[in-house]
Every structure is written in C-alpha cells, then in structure tokens.
C-alpha cells in the first residue's frame, strides 16, 4: 500500500462544502478491518480532549493504521490541516433486531463559527447492507445550524441517504451534518467507529489547488439539493459561498452574485 497522502482536489473540497460529507469507499485494507472489528468488540480506551492526533493512538492499534491509509490521511490534512487534535471518539453499535433508531440530530450544540469546522470520521470495518441500520444523513444540512435533536421530530427529508457500503469505508463529515443511526434488522451487530478532530491551523488552502478554477467547483457549490425550500434554500448557497471564501482566502468569490449583491456597501464620497 502506498504511504503517500492523497490530498483532496478542489472539486472534492467544493463537494464537501456543498454536501457536508465525502465517501471513501473500501479504502481500508482487509487486514485493518479484521483487527478493527476485534478491537471494537472489546471497546476502546478513552483519549483526553485536546490530545494531538499524532499522540492519541499507539502504533500497534488499528486506529493508527487507519489514519495512515493515504486516502484517509489526505482527506484529514486537506480539511483540518496538519496536527489536528482529538475532540472525542466513540464506538457506535447497532444491535441485532434492536427495533429502534436514533432521532435525526446534529452533534453537540449550535456552532456559530463561520470560518472553521471540525470533521468526524465514520469508519465501517465490515460491509453495511440496506437492512443493517446504516447511518442516515441529510446532504447539505451541515450549514443550517441546529442544537442537537432540534430536528428529531423530522422523519424523512427528500434526498436523505441511508448508508450502504463495502467493508473498509470511511465517510468524512462536517460536524454539523444532520444524521442518525438506523434500526438494525439483521442478526448481526453493526459497528461504526467515530473520530472527531479539531483543527489547530487556519483551514485555508490545505488541499491540492491544481484545479481551483475548474468550472466544476462552481457547479458543486451551486448545486440545489432536493430538500431545500424555495426561499430559505437560497441561504444554503449563500453560506457555502461564505465558507468557500474562508477556505480559499478569496473574499471576491461568488456563485451568481449571491453574496456580492447583499454585501455591497459603496463607500461614501465627499462632495467638495
């Protein structure tokens, strides 16, 4: 396996900004997946909040090797930069025939940071089939700020996704995405390892910039998602532009003048 990091492209970064997640399907080798399942069955020791990621997991652990997978390492560095710290980690288990699902929610409290975000790695060491309770998420929900289960009464939204994936899949999500663990209707436990990371550097131009001006970047940032309302759905495009400006350091970037037209403040001129 190559040990070189695979930084994200600008188009992939724009897709993350617009949708709030990126899928890395089947990128983790079987040997790590097998060790991961065994470790998750036993449970994992805690890691204190703020521990540097490089110091958090011993070299003989599956987490250390998971984070060294080039696609995973590249996504982490592209999104939160070098030297992130651990916010927390958790082992999520959906029990066989458990008969219930989580309510739709966002993690933690309302987060008003306009120019920074945490990421969460959701790692699935075994195949997740349609009836195993794969994580449900709502693409593009991450910039509509809520407090935990504010949306818990919502049952279904157009365009929501219920994860099915091959073994060794990692989904990297923006901390604000709406999601829930679904009911497991099989006779097998379903495992997911979650790791939340906090940036320690400005999240500006950390990825592969070779395609920064590719028209596909604008197409990703301007994409309309099925659950958006006609009126307030426009705010999602607006907030994407603000985040892309912060990530690129380009305060002139826009999609169809969404931000420019409402932030235009011509300087007052003196009349001599």
Of 99, 164, 108, the closest CA to residue 135 belongs to 164
Q: What does the DSSP 8-state code read for residue 60? A: T
3.40.640.10, 2.60.120.620, 3.30.70.20, 3.30.420.40: CATH of 10-198: 2.60.120.620
Three-state DSSP class for residue 99: coil
Predicted confidence (pLDDT) per residue in 11-67, tens digit: 999 999 999 999 999 999 999 999 999 999 999 999 999 999 999 999 999 999 999
Q: Alpha helices, DSSP H only, in the chain?
A: 10-19, 30-42, 53-56, 62-68, 70-80, 215-221, 233-248, 260-263
Strand partners, 174: 119
pLDDT, mean over the chain: 94
pTM score, whole prediction: 0.94
Predicted confidence (pLDDT) per residue in 67-109, tens digit: 999 999 999 999 999 999 999 999 999 999 988 889 999 998 8
User: Residues near 55 by Cβ (< 8 Å), separated by ≥ 6?
Assistant: none
Q: Where are the domains of the chain?
A: 10-198
**Encoding tokens for residue 214?**
């590719």
Of 220, 210, 207, 227, the closest CA to residue 253 belongs to 220
Distances (CA, A) of 44 to 63, 91, 255: 10, 8, 44
Strand partners, 123: 170, 193
Burial of residue 205 (number of CB atoms within 10 Å: 0-12, 13-18, 19+): middle
């Amino acid at each position: 396996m190559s040990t070189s990091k695979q930084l994200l492209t600008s188009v992939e970064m724009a897709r993350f900004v617009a949708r709030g997640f990126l899928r890395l399907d089947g990128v983790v080798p079987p040997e790590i997946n097998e060790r991961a399942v065994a470790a998750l069955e036993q449970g994992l020791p805690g890691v204190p909040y703020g521990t540097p990621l490089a110091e958090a997991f011993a070299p003989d652990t599956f987490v250390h090797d998971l984070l060294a997978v080039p696609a995973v390492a590249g996504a982490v560095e592209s999104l939160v930069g070098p030297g992130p710290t651990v916010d927390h980690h958790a082992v999520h288990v959906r029990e066989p025939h458990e008969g219930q699902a989580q309510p739709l929610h966002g993690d933690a409290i309302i987060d008003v940071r306009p120019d920074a975000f945490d990421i969460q790695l959701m790692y699935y060491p075994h195949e997740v089939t349609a009836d195993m309770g794969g994580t449900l998420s709502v693409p593009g929900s991450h910039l509509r700020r809520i407090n935990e289960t504010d949306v818990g009464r919502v049952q279904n939204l157009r365009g929501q996704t219920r994860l099915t994936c091959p073994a060794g899949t990692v989904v990297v999500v923006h901390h604000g995405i709406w999601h829930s663990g679904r009911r497991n209707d099989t006779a097998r436990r379903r495992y997911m390892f979650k790791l939340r990371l906090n940036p320690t550097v400005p999240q500006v131009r950390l990825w592969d910039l070779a395609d920064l001006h590719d028209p596909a970047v604008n197409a990703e940032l301007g994409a309309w998602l099925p659950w958006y309302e006609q009126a307030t759905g426009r705010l999602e495009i607006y907030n994407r532009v603000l985040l892309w400006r912060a990530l690129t350091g380009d305060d002139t970037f826009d999609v169809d003048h969404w931000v420019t037209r409402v932030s235009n403040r011509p300087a007052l001129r003196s009349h001599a």
